[in-house]
A and B are shown apart, each in its own frame.
Chain A
Amino acid sequence: MQNWRRNKFAFSVLFLPPAAWLVIFFTLPLAIVWVYSFGARGPLGEIILDWSAVSLGNYARSLEWINLEIVAKSIWIAVVATAICIGLGFPLAMGIAFASPRYRNILLLLVILPFWTNLLIRTYAWIAVLRERGHVNFALEWLHDTINGGLAVLGLPALLGAFEPLQLLYNQNAVIIGIVYVNLPFMVLPLYATLEKLDRSYLEASLDLGAGQWRTLFSVTVPLSLPGISTGVLLTFILALGSFLTPDLLGGPDSIMIGNLIAQQFGSARDWPFGAALSFLLMYATFIILWVKAMVAKREGGSAF
């Protein structure tokens, strides 16, 4: 087979447009933001970039206790959301991978389907589901009234008392529900890709040799799908860590995450240099995680993804 690298002309024709796109719309703007991160905020929110103002002050400021607290909380929320995504995503991916080929594509489509609707609209839909006079509470109220009504028919006193709606919205749990919902497909898809390619004869061998279903799951299936798990965990965690819209719309008075803090710097605080520094710290953290993953994968002899 001819190596594609040898055909320099075809290669450059194909390579140039995406490379130019990447440089103009990604690398250059990012470089500008990177330069900003060493600047200072003027009294009216202008960006001061002369040599005497250039400093690491913004980075030092991002290490202030209050900002570290927000980072720690964001990491915690991302960890919890990622864990829930695994718990939900693994059985889901297994179900799809082991379903008959007829249904497999339909099931996959159902996982991807939410992407066809704008995130903002999907998040507002969660408000309608979770709020006090939302669908969950309506269902609970109906159940509650039915039970009380049934007791009344039997001549018994209403045991459950008056219905108190659950406070499901505007708190940390709502944020986690929202983040899990948004990111679940990013967990399911890599898991599915791994599980689908899994050699079924290993599972059969395990069952034939006397291991139960659970033992087979945890000793054979899970270890064999580790590459998919780690990719899914990484994707979900990184995306969850940068969440901004979800805590904004579903969160309570203490749901600020690092993404919101950054957004505020570019908005009301008008402190683009500090916002730029925070963004780059988040990005460095992401790179470190990716690097660790690549190192681990290398040592195990697999590919990074």
Chain B
Amino acid sequence: MMNRIKAGRVTRRDFLVGAAAAGVAIGAHSRIARSAEEKKLNVYNWDTYIGETTLSTFTGSTGIEVQYDFYANNDELFAKLKAGNPGYDVIIPSDSYVADMISLDMLMAIDHGKIPNLKHIDSDPNFSNPPFNPGLKYGVPYLWGTIGIGYRKSKVENPDSWGLLLDSDKYSGRIALMADARSVMGLALKYLGFSMNSQNQAELDKARDLLIKQKVHIKTFAEDNGQDLLLSGECDIVMEWNGDIIHAAEEDDDVGYVVPKEGTQVWIDNVCIPVGAPHPENALLFLNHLLDPQVNAEIANTIKYATPNKAARELVSPEDLANPAIYPTPEVVARSESLVSVGEFTPAYDKAWTEVQAA
């Protein structure tokens, strides 16, 4: 049983079990792990975040049918699984969410013996032993990337600093930031010279005030569609995930991507198996499949994100490997940070973000 009663404290999941007994969560927990798993796998992933042939080759070699479902952001994934796993076998959360999910017993430890392709992962400790998932005990790295500045080359010259987005009226009314509390607050902190994971109220207040002051020049906080705002000509300079801008640049030569000199947020997404997965054995086969150099390179070549798979990189197009928007230089990575959970300090971020939005 995945749910444990912790001494003196009823967690949400314990509460849900009670509710399920009362007949509320009909169907949510009805799947029972079987000794011989049916040939099915339920994958919950970001949209457009897999290769074109990934699933068909998996079904071809194992006979397992893949049921595929999308989420739009980590929060959606987290909220859905926090209420009890509705039947997913494979999920792809980002770094800090992996850490939180591990702490909340939401992820299954994976059996490395069943993933021989794990040997292909780059031995760089950022990938092979990341702080949010020591020893890759609860999942394997999938793809990684950065947040940076997407811009229209004909309108914006050499955007080398977050200051152009956060502390300048040069592109007034042509700026979009992301609608993501931790990333936007974090990059404002970074611009001010603090850590993106600061737990210092005074620093957070400075970042908040910076954003409030800049708001008159900001067109909107984009819901993961900064690239569309660039393409449609609505904005000239936006804060976005690198992959989104790279795709936009494929459609429009005039779109560029750069990581500012202050450094940025580096993220790694991870393939994990949530607790309560109905087909954990199939899920392990799928994890191994994703790490196969051929399969992995096809994914990277299709969706243009950086792969932590060393053997797969041999098969990635040299153009992509040389593109700093996809594979940032070690100097850029050294100046950057990953988001880590700020624990008890999270409400302070949320409050600051609410104040920015309401101001």
Contact = CB atoms under 8 A, between A and B. Distances in A.
A24 B23 contact: yes
Contact of B355 (A29, A44, A50, A66): A66
Interface of B: 8-12, 15, 19, 22-24, 26, 73, 75-76, 78-79, 82, 100, 103-104, 173, 177, 179-182, 215, 218-221, 223, 232-234, 341, 343-344, 346-347, 350-351, 353-355, 357-359
A95 B336 CA distance: 63
Given A252-B220, A253-B221, A268-B181, A46 B12 contact: yes
Interface in A94-142: 131-133
Interface residues of A, number: 43
Contacts of A46: 11-12, 82, 104
Contacts of B76: 267
B132 to A, nearest CB: 13
Contacts of A43: 343-344, 346
Contact of B347 (A41, A249, A251, A253): A41
B359 A131 contact: no
Contacts of A12: none
B354 A49 contact: no
Contacts of A132: 232-234
Contact of B75 (A167, A170, A260, A268): A268
A66 B219 contact: no
B24 A28 contact: yes
Nearest to A50: B9
Contacts of A49: 10, 12, 15
Given A170-B234, A264-B353, 16 more contacts: A24-B23, A32-B15, A32-B24, A43-B346, A44-B103, A47-B12, A47-B15, A131-B234, A248-B179, A252-B219, A254-B358, A261-B354, A264-B350, A267-B73, A270-B79, A270-B346
25 contacts: A43-B346, A44-B100, A46-B82, A47-B12, A48-B10, A49-B12, A131-B234, A133-B232, A133-B233, A133-B234, A170-B219, A170-B234, A248-B223, A253-B219, A253-B220, A254-B215, A254-B359, A256-B357, A267-B75, A268-B180, A269-B181, A269-B347, A269-B350, A270-B79, A271-B350
A45 interface: yes
B104 A44 contact: yes
Closest 4 CB pairs of A and B: A267-B75, A269-B350, A47-B12, A256-B357
A48 B11 contact: yes
A69 interface: yes
B343 A66 contact: no
B11 A170 contact: no
Interface in A166-191: 167, 169-170
Interface string A150-179: 000000000000000001011000000000
A268 B351 CA distance: 12
User: Which of B12, B22, B82, B103 has most A Cβ within 10 Å?
Assistant: B12
